[in-house]
Structure 1
Amino acid sequence: MSVIITIVALATLMIAAYRGFSVILVAPIIALAAVFLTTPIDVAPAFSAIFMEKMVGFIKLYFPVFLLGALFGKLIEISGFARSIVQAVIKILGAHRAIPVIVTICGLLTYGGVSLFVVVFAVYPFAAEMFRQSNIPKRLIPATIILGALTFTMDAMPGTPQIQNIIPTSFFNTTAWAAPTLGIIGSIFILTVGLIYLERKRKKAQLNNEGYGTNLRNEPTIAADLKLPSPIIALLPLVVVGIMNLTLTHMIPAWYSDSFAFQLAGMKEAMNLDIKKVLAIWAVIGALCSGILCIMLFSFKTIFSHFSENTQSAIAGAMLAAMNTGTEYGFGAVIAALPGFLIVANSLHGISDPLLNEAITVNILAGITGSASGGLSIALGAMSEQFQTMATQAHIPMEVMHRVAAMASGGMDTLPHNGAVITLLTVTGLTHREAYKDIFGITIFKILSAFVVIGVYYMTGWV
């Protein structure tokens, strides 16, 4: 019965999200209903100690990233930087190259260490402008961004600094560069089939005379008579963000060491801060601030002529996106604490092949929690010793276990209730009905990519 409750709760949230209901409202209701059907007396404690703690903890950590990311994206838009780059790209490559260009931009930012959520805010103005000028349906933008930011550069490419590639290192004693050959093969697979899929969708829309779309929401707008900057200048903020993110990632530990104790005048006692837990966030915040200052330096008059009204929508969007994702995080934490979830997790122990066991387990747990990092952390936290024992007996290197685990985390995580998906749809002004079908198409290929890597390893022994 407990398993049925868990599955029904998950299915209900996915259906509600797909039908356009706010997850901020329905996610806690569904999560607490599941707790009520399991142990009624635990409803209030689960709400306060699990749901709210996890939701607020997520927002506390990541709201500055959402806010600065939204502001950076809005300034890229109203300054004309996005349009300048798009026009230059179209002139060089042609309008029909919009999809691979956006995928490339997303990939470069993600592999450069920029947060996945920041990429959504930063790239949307470019994507909207390029898709509009190329007359490609706007509904394909989310799937295009998903392919560029949440697939190969998130967990497959060796060395990627995204958290999904970092989590396995502490469990398997590996590095971010684990199994480089398999990672590259997996990256090529998902990138190739993803681009083929999106290109077929573009051509089909073209044959059906489907253009960019009408009745659009949250469209980037700039003055028609705006003098556009040079494409080289327009590219500078993106370059600055990437360079500063990398620089600060290496410099902050040198400034603060692993922990830092501080005591302001009004504090009764000193506070110790674990720098490792905030390193990536501080680096991204510093990088985004640098990018924003760069835009202001070259486009001060243009930006500040209508700064207040233009940034209000960005701030509102950041707050909504952070609340949506934080609520999803709280929902996943409650579901992961239910006995039905534990039964599902434990039932996966019976799969004898270590790589298949790991890939299936991580995929399912990421899908249930709606989080790649959440599902990966739960799976490895509970089963990493078992995975290591099985892998040792089968003479499978820990590097391969690392790569398969990381890639599997980015498979079923992009179900309709995933926080990144909801954030992406919110930012682009689209609904699940309009855009999720193609997101799910990319999800299918991403799920397959982990199993392709497993097959390649067993056939060749490559690592």
Structure 2
Amino acid sequence: MDVAIAALALILLMIAAYRGLSVIIMAPLLAMLAVFLTDPAAVPAAFSGLFMDKVGSFLRLYFPVFLLGAVFGKMVEISGFSRAIVAAVIGFVGSKRAIPSIMAVTALLTYGGVSVFVAVFAVYPFAAEMFRRADIPKRLVPATIGLGALTFTMDALPGTPQIQNIIPASFFGTTTWAAPVLGLIGSLFIVAMGLLYLDWRRRSLAAAGEGYGTNLLNEPDTHGETPAVHPLVALLPLLVVGIANLVLTIAIPRLAGDSVTLSLVGLKAPVVVDVKQVSALWAVEGALLLGILTIVATAFRTVTARFTEGSKAAVGGALLAGMNTAVEYGFGGVISALPGFLVVKEGLRAIPNPLVNEAITVTTLSGITGSASGGLSIALAAMADQFAAAGDAAGVPREVLHRVAAMASGGMDTLPHNGAVITLLAVTGLTHRQAYKDILALTGIKTATVFLVIAVYYLTGLV
């Protein structure tokens, strides 16, 4: 019965997300439903002392990253830099290589710090135009954008500033550059297999006589939208974010030491900050700030003319994304405290290999919640200590635990109720029936890659 209660809450949350209901509303309701079915008297205390405490702790750590990432992405958009980068890549590669071109430019934007949602809006008009010129079925556009935004640049490439690569650092005391060799190997495999699959699909559909399509929705009008920004200037903020992230990741622990003590007159007691737990966050936040300042310096007039409205949109997006993930974190904190989850936890503990255990747990919860960051947060909040202890006992470096957890979160998360998938299909004017099959194929490739990376580690010892 205890397991059924925990499973019921998770399934209802998945159904709610699939139906388009707000997770911010449904997560606390369903978490409290699970507590009520277990112990009705515990509901008030569970809400205030557990759920809201988890929500607050998540926002305290990660909201600055959401906010700075949203502002940076919006400034890349309103400055015209994203359009300039897209146009330059298309011009360099050519319209006949539409699939690798769109994949590459989406990857460049997301690895440079632009959020997945901003990248979708920025790339789609050019993707549609390239696919139309090459007469490639439009229903391959979502999977192509997804390959660039939702797979290797989200959590596999070392140093990526996306939240899925930042969350494990707080639990394992690592950095966003954890296990760089394994991350690169996994990224190359995903890119190669993803492009091979999409090219096979293109050729198969062409042989069946299917072209771009007619009577399609949300077709963009890109006439007269030639960017006025030089592509090298447009690339500069992305390079600044990447380089600054690396430099600050190395410099902060050396300069700050193991801890920083804040002593101010108004404080009752000094505040001690564990640098190891926050250095990855500080590095990404500092890098994004420098990226924002670079955009201001290189496109001052363009940005300031639209900054007021753009910043409002960025703050709204950051609040929504941050709260969505925070309430899922709170939901996970409640579910992980229930007797039913403890039974599941003990069952997962029976998997002897710590990396396989971690990968299965993270990708399963990410699939159930339809959120990579949400599932990752739930899994690590409940079981990070167990993963770390098992890894230490087996001699597995924390960096490998970080990379496997991050990559596993981006495996089965892209089930039909995933927010990014729903947004991607809505922007492109396509339905799940038309385009989800190919997204699911990439999901399978991504999930399999996690276990490939685990195998490579055990066979070679590479980190």
| TM-score under structure 2 length normalisation | 0.78
Question: Partners of 2:430 and 2:55 in 1: how far apart?
Answer: 23
Using the TM superposition, give the Cα deviation of residue 405 of structure 1 relative to its aligned residue in structure 2, in angstroms. 5.8
**Which position in structure 2 is the counterpart of 1:130?**
126
Question: Partners of 2:23 and 2:436 in 1: how far apart?
Answer: 16
Q: CA offsets per residue over residues 185-237 of structure 1, 9 Å max, x none? A: 54443332223344456664992534795348xx9x99957761111111111
**Which position in structure 2 is the counterpart of 1:233?**
233
**Which position in structure 2 is the counterpart of 1:338?**
338
**Which position in structure 1 is the counterpart of 2:15?**
15
Matches within 5 A, 1:56-205: 56-104=56-104, 118-120=114-116, 123-135=119-131, 143-144=143-144, 146-148=146-148, 150-152=150-152, 156=156, 162-163=165-166, 176-177=178-179, 180=181, 185-199=185-199, 204=205
Q: 1:214 aligns with which of 212, 217, 224?
A: 217
**Bigger Cα displacement from structure 2, 13-22 vs 66-75:** 66-75
Residues 1:140 and 1:401: Cα distance change in structure 2 (over 3 Å): same
Q: CA offsets per residue over residues 164-204 of structure 1, 9 Å max, x none? A: 77579669xxx9338x4x66554443332223344456664
**Which position in structure 2 is the counterpart of 1:422?**
419
Contact 2:83 2:122 in 1 (8 A): yes
Contact 1:20 1:432 in 2 (8 A): no
Residues 1:63 and 1:129: Cα distance change in structure 2 (over 3 Å): farther
Contact 2:362 2:375 in 1 (8 A): no
**Bigger Cα displacement from structure 2, 59-68 vs 186-195:** 186-195
Using the TM superposition, give the Cα deviation of residue 99 of structure 1 relative to its aligned residue in structure 2, in angstroms. 4.2
Contact 1:17 1:432 in 2 (8 A): no
Contact 2:168 2:380 in 1 (8 A): no
Contact 1:355 1:454 in 2 (8 A): yes
**Which position in structure 2 is the counterpart of 1:259?**
259
Using the TM superposition, give the Cα deviation of residue 335 of structure 1 relative to its aligned residue in structure 2, in angstroms. 1.6
Question: Partners of 1:222 and 1:312 in 2: how far apart?
Answer: 26
Contact 2:107 2:153 in 1 (8 A): yes
RMSD: 4.1
Q: CA offsets per residue over residues 298-335 of structure 1, 9 Å max, x none? A: 22222223332333222222221112121222112222
Question: Partners of 1:45 and 1:224 in 2: how far apart?
Answer: 59
Q: Secondary structure at the match of 2:299?
A: helix
Contact 2:332 2:377 in 1 (8 A): no
Question: Partners of 2:93 and 2:289 in 1: how far apart?
Answer: 31
Q: CA offsets per residue over residues 24-54 of structure 1, 9 Å max, x none? A: 1111111111111112122111111222111
Contact 1:163 1:373 in 2 (8 A): no
Contact 1:120 1:424 in 2 (8 A): no
Residues 1:301 and 1:401: Cα distance change in structure 2 (over 3 Å): closer
Question: Partners of 1:124 and 1:384 in 2: how far apart?
Answer: 36
Contact 1:103 1:148 in 2 (8 A): yes
Residues 1:105 and 1:169: Cα distance change in structure 2 (over 3 Å): farther
| TM-score under structure 1 length normalisation | 0.78
Contact 1:109 1:242 in 2 (8 A): no
**Which position in structure 2 is the counterpart of 1:319?**
319
